A and B are shown apart, each in its own frame.
Chain A
């Protein structure tokens, strides 16, 4: 290679070459790579976070534990590990709307939300979530009343944030499972609200 990062072969070939070198050196096991991919592609994702939210909506004691010590409360449901070691849950109310960003990189609570979407990691979101949160929310279709306080949480350390959205009206008769099905990833990042049953998020 001519220099450290330039004049590189097409990226797919470069990744393949790197994997080959690391396998030949005995430093990575291809089966382990498959497991890592499968974990975040099929097992860990926002359905985990939705279960946490639905539990908090239906169990006031759990909600209190979640707000007091999110890491432990989330671990009760079996969601632990990498990028979820130090969790904080911030609760939306009629007066306060929370949203989460990582302006410096892409910090995101993996055990409850999986890997972040491209827009969350993108320069537009990272630059504007702190500067113009209401404008960003508008791009997601959420117009907040002026008097609502918007709190933006910049994940600059090892704390990972999950938004506890407001439970929508008209859901009194729903089971925890039915409630979980309403909860979207975007609502747990704080760029959307949870809609009532039957509404498209």
Chain B
């Protein structure tokens, strides 16, 4: 989606302000929001692409004025509501109005959770269609205004780059975020000259590398 999350190349957002000695969390509620998001993710009621979409799919003013873990919380609340796991009214009351939904397993204990973290989630898949591009190929990023989730940033759409490497077959976020299957495709690192993206003001030496799926690309004319 052409949302408020797609920030590459925007002006006016100010200087980068680093905080020396920054702690991992600033507030207790950030710790809990982070951990609740991970713990609920372990249930498999949604995937990582759906959870990214739940955070980004909102009014750009809401997106840009929410703190990072506030967006995590809003995303989690939405995923829980959409799937009928927690009604917003239950959060308002601070108590569960009903039991655990049928088909959901009980909470993961700490050991199981640690094992899930250690295993991670492999997004590489066999069974992708053969790659249409090879390293060295010049490719054009298709112009597509996708209303749902996609990982082709606006700043590279319609631009020509060169395939730097083929990462192999990966789950396609565009379908996976919407429950439409993993539909694996090859994913490539595509190199764009900075001047192709930003014009003469950019350094002639610099480049941006973007990871893009096969279907986002077509052969450069």
Contact = CB atoms under 8 A, between A and B. Distances in A.
A125 B31 contact: no
Given A25-B96, A156-B152, A159-B211, A126 B15 contact: no
Nearest to B9: A131
Given A146-B205, A147-B205, A154-B8, A123 B27 contact: no
Interface in A73-123: 80-86, 101, 103-106, 114-115, 117-119, 121-123
Question: Interface size bucket, B side?
Answer: 35 or more
A21 B8 contact: no
Nearest to A149: B205
A19 interface: yes
Nearest to A148: B205
Contact of B207 (A34, A123, A152): A152
Contacts, number: 278
A29 B43 CA distance: 12
A117 B18 CA distance: 8
Contacts of A106: 68
A154 B210 contact: yes
Interface string B1-36: 000011111110111111100111111110111111
Question: Interface size bucket, A side?
Answer: 35 or more
A85 B27 CA distance: 29
Contact of A130 (B5, B18, B91, B208): B208
Interface in B185-199: 187, 189, 194, 197-198
Contacts of A20: 94-96
Given A15-B29, A86-B124, A33 B35 contact: yes
Interface stretch (A4-12, A49-57, A58-66, A172-180): A4-12
A114 B31 CA distance: 14
Given A12-B27, A35-B113, A19 B205 contact: no
10 contacts: A1-B92, A5-B62, A15-B32, A19-B32, A19-B36, A34-B35, A35-B113, A103-B155, A157-B211, A158-B123
